[in-house]
Structure 1
């Protein structure tokens, strides 16, 4: 009989001969020019060859069947669950595997197999979510570099949370054109955590100083993200910051001092119950009393009202073309606003914060002027 001749008798042959015979059967099985009877016999023979003790025989079958959509599904799925050198052909190339099959292999296969799945010519949202959830760092990076992978925003966030400490994954994330702004912020936080944990940083700066330096750097990174992200992404970034508890008084003050007024309006929207249009109307043209009421409804203390109102009015004048000022000059006005009056005695922390912000903007302005000087 055909099967006896090609399989049972062939089992006594050397491995090399069985490899050739298995490849021939696989090609016969997917050849649409063959009769149904011949392909059925080849299918049955290949099913028996799945139990061949030599992985080379099964590899030869997988190599052929992985390239055809006419391959027997039961053989393909069996090979996909075989040892890595056999399954690799199927996982990397076969179009017969469903999302459920691939997700199952992501969950239970070796890390090298996860990498092959991540590099497939098509990676669906569901498979990408599985890799984001349980994939090793190498597989995650491979998927991020794969332009054919469809990755949802929630998967980007999960990758940032799980693998943001890995330098290769961070590089792949930051290079991805569809990375959401809140994930970029998460990566900035991860970098800060890595820096804080370095023994050299702790030794040179001390733990408290290192915490402050990293915190200030993260805040500056958040401001830069807010400036660069699109208007559609801004609400998601603000909500992300709110959930992390990072919308603090100092954060709001830094946003206003730096002229990020749209970002400031979004922050107030997250802190208050007012409509966004109402907030924007008050910021753009409201009187000081209306501004103070808006700041109070957002939970900002009365001590912060004077410098914030001064800054808002100054940025209005800049926008209208009545004044030519930058962040350094406006932060200086904010410092002056807390230099006297009834808040002066109890406002040491606020004054120190404003002074540090002002000095920071002064350094940035000096650096920008230096860069603008043409080389001699």
Structure 2
């Protein structure tokens, strides 16, 4: 029997010869070139070769077996647990490794091993979840760059929470079109926190002013984020902001002043528990009494009711083609509704700042348009 001669020859062969012979035997096995008896003997020989003291021999076997569905499972399993140089070939390619096998190696593997698994042509949602939960930054970045990886929304969130302050992962997350909007908000907050902690910022502004500037920048960025968020993702973003404590009356006043009516409606649905269809109907054409009751149910302060109603009426007219207006005009009209109570004075300060922001934005766009003409 050919395999019998091969096993006797192993004792005297040099490493290079054993590696070449092991690769040839492995290729013959996976290509089904051997009769049944020789095939059984070849499988036994390949199993024996797992004990070869030279990593070069085991690597030659791994390269020959790694891409085949016909490789002996026990041989592939042992090679996948070999030293990184050998195991990497199998972990990166073998179709015989189950999700459970890969998850075990993600959980206890080296960063290089995790990255190899993240780079596999197809990565299941379960394996992606394991990498998101315990993977090193390099592995998470590789997973995000892999178009063959199936990644759940929760896994995106875990990577944003764990590694969002690292540029390598943050940039990979932002570049991924599948990234949910609430994860984008997590990342912009992390960027703001990183800037706030920067020694230069702290030295120039002081801690309290840096905190205030960071908070205001994050609020503005959140409004911009809403524009790029699909309507079906509004509920998830609302829930994320609510859990963070960012879904305040002031924030909702900002959203309606800037015409984010769909998002405002999603927030009211979450805060009141009422049906989405009813909330949409009220925002589109509801009476002031019904809308005020809705705002009260959502926990919005009484001082905000009148200004929100004013903004809604303007945006309705804009939607119906009866009026041309933007945030500059709406914030000014909202401001005109306020009196001189303490709560209204606080709200007036917010609306004045919104109005000034809108004026500056419009002036900047006008200047740029003139320069481009």
Which TM class, normalised by the smaller chain length? over 0.9
Question: Alpha-carbon deviations, 1:8-38, whole Å to 9, x = none?
Answer: 6523432222212222222232231211111
Written as runs of structure 1 = structure 2, the 5 A alignment for 1:51-200 is 51-200=51-200
- Equivalents in 1 of 2:27, 2:305: separation in Å? 78
1:349 aligned to 321, 339, 346, which one? 346
1:362 aligned to 349, 352, 359, which one? 359
SS in 1 for 2:121: coil
- Equivalents in 2 of 1:176, 1:346: separation in Å? 43
- Equivalents in 2 of 1:273, 1:122: separation in Å? 40
**328-337 or 124-133: which moved more?**
328-337
**Residue-pair matches, total:** 373
- Residues 11 and 18 of structure 1 are in contact (CA less than 8 Å); yes or no, is this contact kept in structure 2? no
Where structure 1 has 5 or more consecutive residues not aligned to the other structure, the ranges are none
- Residues 283 and 312 of structure 2 are in contact (CA less than 8 Å); yes or no, is this contact kept in structure 1? yes
- Residues 133 and 158 of structure 1 are in contact (CA less than 8 Å); yes or no, is this contact kept in structure 2? yes
The residue aligned with 1:322 is 322
**182-191 or 346-355: which moved more?**
346-355
Written as runs of structure 1 = structure 2, the 5 A alignment for 1:37-56 is 37-56=37-56
Q: Structure 1 residue 347: deviation in Å?
A: 3.4
- Residues 79 and 87 of structure 1 are in contact (CA less than 8 Å); yes or no, is this contact kept in structure 2? yes
SS in 2 for 1:300: coil
- Residues 3 and 44 of structure 1 are in contact (CA less than 8 Å); yes or no, is this contact kept in structure 2? no
SS in 1 for 2:322: coil
- Residues 66 and 94 of structure 2 are in contact (CA less than 8 Å); yes or no, is this contact kept in structure 1? yes
- Residues 188 and 221 of structure 1 are in contact (CA less than 8 Å); yes or no, is this contact kept in structure 2? yes
Question: Alpha-carbon deviations, 1:48-103, whole Å to 9, x = none?
Answer: 11111111111111111112221100000000000000001101111111111111
- Equivalents in 1 of 2:284, 2:42: separation in Å? 77
Q: Structure 1 residue 117: deviation in Å?
A: 0.9
Question: Alpha-carbon deviations, 1:263-298, whole Å to 9, x = none?
Answer: 111111122133222222222223333332222221
- Equivalents in 2 of 1:251, 1:7: separation in Å? 76
The residue aligned with 2:240 is 240
- Residues 62 and 90 of structure 2 are in contact (CA less than 8 Å); yes or no, is this contact kept in structure 1? yes
Q: Structure 1 residue 151: deviation in Å?
A: 1.0
SS in 2 for 1:151: coil
- Residues 2 and 41 of structure 1 are in contact (CA less than 8 Å); yes or no, is this contact kept in structure 2? no
Q: Structure 1 residue 4: deviation in Å?
A: 6.4
- Equivalents in 2 of 1:355, 1:179: separation in Å? 34
SS in 1 for 2:250: helix
- Residues 3 and 38 of structure 2 are in contact (CA less than 8 Å); yes or no, is this contact kept in structure 1? no
Question: Alpha-carbon deviations, 1:280-325, whole Å to 9, x = none?
Answer: 2222223333332222221111122222222222222222333222
- Equivalents in 2 of 1:157, 1:286: separation in Å? 37
- Equivalents in 2 of 1:33, 1:282: separation in Å? 74
- Equivalents in 2 of 1:277, 1:363: separation in Å? 36
TM-score normalised by structure 1 residue count: 0.94
- Equivalents in 1 of 2:269, 2:126: separation in Å? 34
TM-score normalised by structure 2 residue count: 0.94
Where structure 2 has 5 or more consecutive residues not aligned to the other structure, the ranges are none
Q: Indicate yes or no: 2:352 matched with 1:375.
A: no
SS in 1 for 2:358: helix
Q: Indicate yes or no: 2:307 matched with 1:307.
A: yes
Written as runs of structure 1 = structure 2, the 5 A alignment for 1:269-288 is 269-288=269-288
